[in-house]
Amino acid sequence: MSDTTLKATAAASGASATERFRTDKTTASGQAVTDTERVNILATEMIAAVHDVIRRHQVTYEEYNALKSWLISVGEDGEWPLFLDVWIEHVVEEVAGADRKGSKGTIEGPYYVPGAPALPSVSTLPMREDESGTPLLFQGRITGVSGEPLPGALLEIWQADDDGLYAQFAPGIAQWNLRGAVEADDSGRFAVRTIQPAPYQIPTDGSCGKLIAAAGWHAWRPAHLHLKVSAPGHETLTAQLYFRGGEHVEDDVASAVKPELVIDPQPTGNGGNQVTYDLVLDPAS
């Protein structure tokens, strides 16, 4: 691992993720949940579920106080976005995407940043001159559910580097490294050159890491490409694409892998790989 990897702490990542959430989502999301009856039902049932766990497992005061201390430390570490995105979001996404007819989606995760550099349909993601990793050509076509091309559809793509680190969430990496917003051509096609990302551990030196250690879990996510695909008159698709045979595809800590999202890049003969993956958007409801 590089020196940069060693300096990517839970506190720094947590602070960045929390600030991004506050900037990008708090206002819109906070105004959406205003139905008193709905809040009453959800809050009451979630609290009742906790009560049920306490009764069924005869939780002791020592365990209760350990939980209370841990919950406080999650907030102090700025790790609520990390905790929720890793262990909760995949079920919210499952419910939200249950009726989707087009491509499967999955969690967004904490590392999305809007406003990435605009790129043409055939392009290379911004990267360092000496960017390490296996070159990858990721190409495909964006259509509607009836197969009609969606010209000008926007493919936002972001990913970890070969050390498993994200620009803007780890030190020493250029702001838009391995991030871009690609506009599909008149046939809905795109071809993006990048590198294959590495699997990575979620930060383990904070509260989430303490939970993982106490429960005997692992902290690894499989290598993946993040996508957010949008077009006028269509629902935005958020997805992650994983690599067949990759480490932790079968036991992702975030439980976000779906069979439809596993890609199988093939060698190009020049030391790189390529894969074609089409994206299908549902009409807006």
pLDDT value at residue 35: 86
pLDDT at 269 over 80: yes
pLDDT value at residue 285: 85
Put residue 148 in one of left, alpha, beta given phi > 0 → left and psi -120 to 50 → alpha.
beta
| Those residues with Cβ within 8 angstroms of residue 225's Cβ, 6 or more apart along the chain or in another chain | 138, 157, 159, 194, 197, 240, 241
d(CA 51, CA 48): 5
Of 22-26, 42-46, 77-81, highest mean pLDDT: 42-46
pLDDT at 7 over 50: no
3-281 CATH fold:
Protocatechuate 3,4-Dioxygenase, subunit A (2.60.130)
Which region among 9-13, 16-20, 172-176, 203-207 has the lowest average model confidence (pLDDT)? 9-13
pLDDT value at residue 78: 87
Give the domain ranges of the chain: 3-281
Name the pairing type of β-strands 279-281 and 122-124: unpaired
The model's pTM is: 0.87
Q: Which SS3 state, helix, strand or coil, does residue 163 take? A: coil
Rounded (10°) angle between helices 80-87 and 10-24: 80
d(CA 279, CA 103): 6
Mean pLDDT of 237-241: 98
For residue 153, the tally of other CB atoms under 10 A from its CB is 26
| Those residues with Cβ within 8 angstroms of residue 231's Cβ, 6 or more apart along the chain or in another chain | 142, 150, 152, 153, 154, 281
